[in-house]
């Protein structure tokens, strides 16, 4: 009975949530906190069901989700629906409303936020002044037109000459402009004096600098990390230390000849040590891949015993009389236990140490073909094995056609081949594209993928010396690209165990970790020079998931798709042509999140600045009044206001006299007052003719001390349009940030470090930029305006980011993560990465713990949706094998439990 009531209650809550979502996606216009906005378009039943799946939280206990504020004393509950942002004033999540250009509002692609048209919040005095000075909104009559021409002429091609018809049209427009400007000035300019004189509004300019800095982002993540550097910082349920400093471990078992059984058997190395010296007898290491041999361990075991016998005979034949013969060997099928989980984990974790201690390492191949060599090279464990073996590598050709034959019966030339790492590089691993097939910039090294294996070989053959960070990243990238096949005996987390052998510290295997978590743990516990802190600051290049195919729904191109793809490019240059080791971190990674479908980390000490999307703020105009023009402008405004106010006072006096009683003497006095009123009001009216231009001058300069905000809108506009929306007039204040995003390259002044307006039609220019940079179809263009330094940056992102996190620096600029937010998980999702000016570091306040996903919110949602759909199909057809979603993989489907640590082969 109780279970039925609980189920019924849950169904009612589910239907309530569904109706709530239908309401939020009705496509109609609504009011919210004084703002008129349009909700996202109506969803079809299928789209609505998919959206509900995307919003599911696998750890949630109900459909309403909770958010704990930064003080930890107030839980806010609401249904998840549209995208949200953290309100710095109310300290709760609020639905995101984004101002958008007309083209952006007509974009038919699905979205999950409200939209409104772009409205400025400029003071009425400024709007009235601009109406009097430029009623037709012509560019040539803006105060910044001359400055704009100067900047453009210095960096762009000269404009085309106007035709006769265009000249005639311009002459007519100028005539109409002067007529309307005169009429509006004579009839409306006096309103400026009235408003200031009667103190209805205050002047928008000031001689003092603004104390209003960037808002603080005070959000805090309260959940425990799954793994942390300090055990006190991780979940109380996980009391195990992350790692321990390893010592050289000898193999637990070796295969030796048993005289009694007259066969090769695996024995504990404790039985094989010299009774006098305690030293372990020498042995050889047999390396093979199950991808080369389509047989079970029971079939492979006697075969490798025969191979090992011939190898030992060959090795002992070359030994001197005083050297002890080699009587043992190590091979996976015998020396990795599958009976005891603890022993199995130890055997796997000590494979690299077994290679270090071996006298020789032999690579087993069924033939000498390149296909067999590359098949062996794709195995994730082979790379660390041969790197550590370096100059003691041989490979042995063991044909498939005769499993029972001894290697000794084969031709000598096919038996044992001496091979170096350089030789193996040319035949065992896939090669990168030759320089001739790369673009001009890539052929000169800029943007070209790093040949990670080549760098590792140079390091282990002492040709070059890699730093700890470079060694770690090259190893991770090389092995991540090997985890691609479906070979029995390994999973994607094998990469972490394989890489562990190259490092000083070892991690305790966790059966629920995916590849990213395992590699992140390795980075945390080893001296990897803050690899994760640097990694979070990179913005990987856009990579097609379906090369050669057009971008269609379901085949989009992503910057990265899950943790595996992220690691495959970890050592490459990012979109700004910067390597991981070029970044200097300004934050700390204290732990790793427990999200199944997102590579999440916990950041401390990053600096957050909220991004405002609903509207442009009303800024404060700060002007330096030391110049004579500023003094005259201020004098005009206040003199006009003084004369008008004096006229009003005289008029009040006349009214008082009129009601006090009249006689002949008072009548003369009243007439004199009336003449005085006309004189004062007339002078004020004449002065008011100059007040629009004076107001424009007072509100056009003074970039120092302005109110500081990061303001965004969807779409792109010209700088003139943006400036008029924010400031009410155009004075060439704003400029494109010269090196902030990938779009800045063609907007740089040829001489000075500043940005310029793009040539030609602005819309056509940005469409071309999307094409040149290969922007995914799921991404939109957003514009971010920094009123602190008057800069404009255009970014490509799938969702509007609600906060900028300053996490590092490189090349003289900061690295800022632009992140969206989900309140129910209190997780920030990296939507883009931009470069920001260094002075922002001191203007933003450091944050406590924040959870950040290296994958975008849209990609995480799609991955979860694909998994849920596959799981549903599997439940309907139990006989069908359920493959893990790619990317990333579900823990229970990709990882085996700790009792089944994957075999290295």
pLDDT of residue 146: 57
- Which one of 676, 698, 720 terminates a domain? 698
The reply to whether 128 and 107 lie within a common domain is no
Checking if the pLDDT of 765 tops 50, the result is: yes
Q: CA–CA separation, 109 vs 121, rounded Å? A: 29
Distances from the Cα of 300 to the Cαs of 280, 288, 295, 307, 606, in angstroms? Answer: 26, 11, 7, 10, 54
Question: Domain for residue 382, yes or no?
Answer: yes
Is the pLDDT higher at 58 or at 866?
Answer: 866
Residue 141 shares a structural domain with residue 38: no
Identify the pLDDT of residue 3: 62
Give dist(CA 328, CA 264) in Å, integer: 9
Within 788-856, residue ranges assigned H as helices are 840-843
The residue behind tokens 């070359």 is 318
Q: 138 and 76 share a domain?
A: no
In a domain, 632, yes or no: yes
Range of the domain at 636: 124-157+166-203+624-698
Last residue of a domain, one of 388, 405, 420: 420
Average pLDDT over residues 519-544: 86
> Within 10 A of 381 (CB to CB), how many other CB atoms are there?
27
Q: Per the domain annotation, does 659 fall within a domain?
A: yes
Q: Residue 197's pLDDT is what?
A: 64
402, part of any domain: yes
Provide CB contacts within 8 A for 393, sequence distance 6+: 360, 361, 363, 386, 418, 419, 420, 421, 424
Which pair of structure tokens corresponds to residue 502? 């190259």
Output the pLDDT for position 581: 95
Q: Which of 673, 698, 723 is the last residue of a domain?
A: 698
Is the pLDDT confidence value at 545 over 50?
A: no
Residue 752 in domain: no
Residue 526 has pLDDT above 90, yes or no: no
Burial of 307 (0-12, 13-18, 19+ CB in 10 A): buried
Averaged pLDDT for residues 456-480: 91
For residue 245, give the H/E element and its range.
Answer: strand 243-245
Identify whether residues 139 and 102 lie together within a single domain: no
Select the more confidently predicted residue: 607 or 366.
607
Q: Are residues 105 and 141 in the same domain?
A: no
Asked whether the bond before 887 is cis by omega within 30 degrees of 0, the reply is yes
What pLDDT score was predicted for residue 888?
Answer: 38
Residue 808, burial from CB neighbour count under 10 angstroms (0-12, 13-18, 19+): buried
DSSP bridge pairs for 852: 601, 828
pLDDT at 897: 28
* pLDDT tens figures, 297-342: 888 899 899 899 989 998 998 787 678 899 999 999 999 988 887 7
Specify the pLDDT at position 299.
86
Buried b (16+ CB within 10 A) or exposed e, 756-782: bbbeeeeeebbeebbeebebbebbbbb
Q: Stretch 857-883: mean pLDDT, rounded?
A: 78
What digits encode the pLDDT tens for the residues 215-248? 999 999 999 999 998 888 988 887 777 665 556 6
The structural domain count of the chain equals 3
Helix (H/G/I), strand (E/B), else coil: 116: strand
Strand 360-365 vs strand 393-397: parallel, antiparallel, or unpaired? parallel
- pLDDT class for 72, splitting at 50, 70, 90? confident
- Identify whether residues 105 and 136 lie together within a single domain: no
User: Could you give the percent of the chain with pLDDT greater than 90?
Assistant: 41
Helix 515-525 with 468-480: angle, nearest 10 deg: 170
336 and 258 both lie in a single domain? yes
Kindly report, residue by residue over 371-402, the tens digit of the pLDDT. 999 889 888 888 999 999 988 999 888 765 55
Alpha-carbon distance of 115 to 105, in angstroms, equals 7
Mean of pLDDT over the chain: 82
Q: Which residues lie closer than 8 Å to 7 by C-beta, 6 or more apart?
A: none
Q: What's the pLDDT at 437?
A: 39
- Give 288-307 pLDDT, tens digit per residue: 988 888 888 888 899 899 89
What's the mean pLDDT in 696-709? 68
pLDDT score of 826: 95
Which pLDDT score, from 0 to 100, does residue 416 have?
78
Let me know whether 384 and 317 are in one domain: yes
pLDDT at 443: 44
Tell me the per-residue pLDDT of 887-900, one tens digit each, with 9 for 90 and over: 433 333 223 323 33
* One domain for residues 389 and 300: yes
Compute how many other C-beta atoms are within 10 angstroms of the C-beta atom of residue 496.
25
Cβ pair 873, 880 in contact under 8 A: yes
- How many helices (H) and strands (E) are present in the chain, helices listed first? 29, 34
* Separation in Å, CA 271 to CA 254, 275, 279, 284, 397: 10, 9, 11, 18, 32
Q: Are 372 and 274 spatial neighbours (Cβ–Cβ below 8 Å)? A: no
Residues 683/647, Cβ–Cβ less than 8 Å: no
| Of 59, 855, 898, the residue nearest 493 (C-alpha) | 898
Q: Please indicate, yes or no, if residue 731 is contained in any of the structural domains.
A: no
Distances in whole angstroms, Cα of residue 479 to Cα of each of 407, 496, 513 = 31, 9, 17
| Coil/strand/helix, residue 210 | coil
Whether residue 1 has pLDDT greater than 70:
no
Task: Tell me the Ramachandran region of residue 705: left when phi exceeds 0, alpha when psi lies from -120 to 50, beta otherwise.
Answer: left
Q: Is residue 585 part of a domain?
A: no
Percentage of the chain modeled with pLDDT above 70: 80
For residue range 119-141, what is the model confidence (pLDDT) as tens digits?
A: 888 888 888 989 999 999 888 77
Domain membership of residue 396 (yes or no) is yes
Tell whether the model's pLDDT for residue 276 goes beyond 90: no
Q: What is the pLDDT of residue 695?
A: 83
Q: Domain check: are 76 and 130 in the same one? A: no
Q: What is the pLDDT of residues 172-209, one digit of tens each?
A: 989 999 999 999 999 988 888 777 665 545 566 665 55
Q: Which of these ranges, 431-445, 448-462, 738-752, 767-781, has the smallest mean pLDDT? A: 431-445
Say yes or no to pLDDT of 161 above 80: no
Within 10 angstroms of residue 605's Cβ, the number of other Cβ atoms is 18
Claim to verify: residue 340 and residue 369 sit in the same structural domain: yes
Structure tokens at 514: 């995916």
Q: Transcribe 771-805 into DSSP letters.
A: HHHT--TT-EEEEEEETTTTEEEEEEESS---EEE
pLDDT of 159 over the 60 cut: no
Q: What is the model's pLDDT at position 388?
A: 92
Are residue 197 and residue 326 in the same domain, yes or no?
no
The pLDDT confidence band at residue 547, using thresholds 50, 70 and 90, is very low
For residues 504-521, give the mean pLDDT. 80
């Amino acid at each position: 009975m109780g279970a039925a009531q609980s189920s019924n209650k849950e169904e009612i809550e589910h239907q309530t949530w569904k109706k709530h979502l239908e309401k939020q996606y009705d496509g109609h216009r609504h009011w919210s906190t004084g703002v008129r906005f349009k909700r996202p378009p109506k969803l079809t039943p299928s789209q609505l069901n998919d959206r509900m799946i995307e919003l599911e939280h696998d750890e949630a206990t109900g459909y309403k989700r909770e958010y704990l504020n930064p003080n930890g004393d107030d839980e806010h509950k609401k249904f998840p629906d549209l995208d949200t942002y953290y309100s710095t004033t109310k300290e709760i999540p609020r639905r995101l409303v984004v101002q958008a250009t007309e083209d952006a509002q007509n974009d038919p692609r699905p979205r999950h936020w409200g939209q409104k048209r772009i409205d400025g919040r400029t003071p009425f005095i400024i709007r009235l002044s601009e109406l009097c000075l430029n009623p037709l909104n012509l560019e040539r009559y803006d105060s910044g037109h001359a400055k704009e021409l100067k900047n453009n002429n210095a960096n762009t091609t000269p404009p085309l000459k106007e035709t006769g018809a265009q000249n005639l049209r311009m002459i007519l427009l100028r005539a109409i402009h002067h007529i309307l400007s005169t009429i509006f000035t004579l009839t409306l300019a006096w309103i400026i004096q009235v408003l200031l004189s009667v103190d209805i509004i205050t002047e928008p300019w000031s001689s003092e600098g603004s104390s209003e800095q960037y808002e603080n982002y005070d959000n805090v993540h309260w959940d425990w990390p799954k793994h942390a550097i300090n055990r006190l910082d991780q979940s109380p349920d996980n009391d195990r230390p992350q790692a321990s400093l390893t010592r050289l471990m000898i193999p637990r078992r070796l295969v030796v000849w048993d005289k009694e059984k007259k066969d090769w058997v695996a024995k504990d190395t404790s039985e094989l040590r010299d009774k006098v010296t305690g030293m372990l007898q020498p042995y050889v290491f047999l390396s093979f891949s199950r991808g080369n041999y389509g047989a079970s361990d029971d079939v492979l075991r006697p075969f490798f015993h025969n191979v090992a016998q011939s190898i030992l005979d060959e090795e002992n034949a070359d030994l001197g009389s005083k050297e002890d013969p080699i009587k043992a060997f190590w091979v996976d099928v015998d020396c990795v236990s599958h009976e005891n989980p603890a022993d199995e984990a130890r055997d796997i974790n000590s494979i690299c140490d077994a290679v270090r201690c071996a006298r020789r390492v032999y690579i087993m191949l069924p033939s000498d073909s390149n296909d067999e060599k590359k098949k062996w090279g794709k195995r994730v464990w082979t790379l660390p094995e041969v790197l550590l073996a370096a100059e003691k590598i041989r490979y042995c050709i063991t044909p498939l056609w005769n499993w029972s034959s001894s290697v000794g019966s084969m031709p000598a030339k096919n038996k044992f081949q001496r091979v170096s790492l350089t030789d193996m590089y040319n035949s065992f691993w896939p090669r990168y594209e030759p320089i001739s097939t790369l673009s001009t910039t890539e052929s000169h090294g800029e943007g070209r993928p790093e040949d990670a294996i080549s760098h590792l070989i140079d390091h282990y053959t002492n040709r070059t010396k890699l730093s700890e960070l470079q060694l770690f990243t090259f190893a991770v990238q090389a092995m991540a690209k090997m985890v691609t096949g479906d070979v029995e005996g390994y999973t994607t987390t094998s990469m972490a165990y394989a890489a562990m052998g190259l490092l000083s510290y070892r991690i305790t295997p966790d059966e629920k970790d995916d590849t990213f978590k395992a590699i992140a743990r390795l980075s945390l516990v080893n001296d990897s020079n803050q690899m994760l802190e640097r990694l979070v600051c990179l913005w990987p290049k856009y990579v097609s998931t379906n090369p050669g195919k057009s971008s269609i729904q379901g085949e989009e191109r992503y910057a990265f798709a899950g943790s595996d793809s992220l690691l495959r490019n970890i050592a490459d240059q990012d979109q700004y042509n910067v390597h991981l080791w070029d970044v200097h971190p300004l934050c700390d990674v204290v732990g790793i999140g427990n999200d199944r479908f997102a590579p999440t980390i916990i950041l401390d000490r990053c600096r957050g600045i909220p991004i405002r999307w609903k509207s442009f703020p009303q800024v404060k105009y700060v002007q330096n009044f030391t110049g004579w023009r500023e003094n005259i402008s201020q004098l005009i405004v206040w003199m006009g206001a003084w004369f008008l106010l004096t006229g009003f006072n005289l008029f009040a006096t006349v009214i008082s006299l009129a009601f006090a009683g009249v006689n002949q003497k008072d009548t003369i006095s009243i007439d004199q007052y009336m003449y005085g009123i006309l004189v004062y009001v007339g002078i004020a009216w004449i002065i008011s003719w100059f007040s629009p231009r004076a107001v424009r001058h007072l509100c056009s300069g003074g970039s120092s001390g302005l109110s500081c905000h990061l303001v965004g809108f969807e779409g792109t506009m010209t700088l003139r349009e943006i400036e008029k929306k924010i400031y009410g007039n155009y004075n060439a204040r704003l400029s494109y940030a010269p090196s902030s995003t990938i779009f800045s390259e063609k907007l740089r002044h040829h001489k000075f470090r500043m940005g310029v307006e793009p040539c030609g039609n602005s819309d056509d220019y940005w469409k071309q930029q999307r094409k040149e940079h290969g922007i995914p179809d799921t991404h939109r263009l957003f514009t971010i305006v920094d009123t602190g330094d008057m800069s404009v940056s255009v970014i490509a992102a799938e969702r509007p980011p609600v906060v900028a996190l300053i996490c590092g620096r490189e090349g003289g600029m900061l690295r800022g993560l632009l992140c969206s937010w989900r309140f129910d998980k209190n997780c920030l999702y990296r939507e883009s990465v931009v470069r920001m000016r260094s002075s922002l570091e001191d203007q933003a306040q450091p944050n406590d713990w924040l959870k950040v996903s290296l994958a975008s919110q849209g990609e995480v949602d799609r991955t979860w949706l694909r998994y849920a759909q596959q799981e549903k199909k599997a439940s309907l057809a139990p006989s069908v094998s359920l493959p893990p979603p790619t990317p990333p993989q579900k823990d229970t489907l990709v990882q085996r439990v700790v009792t089944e640590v994957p075999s290295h082969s």
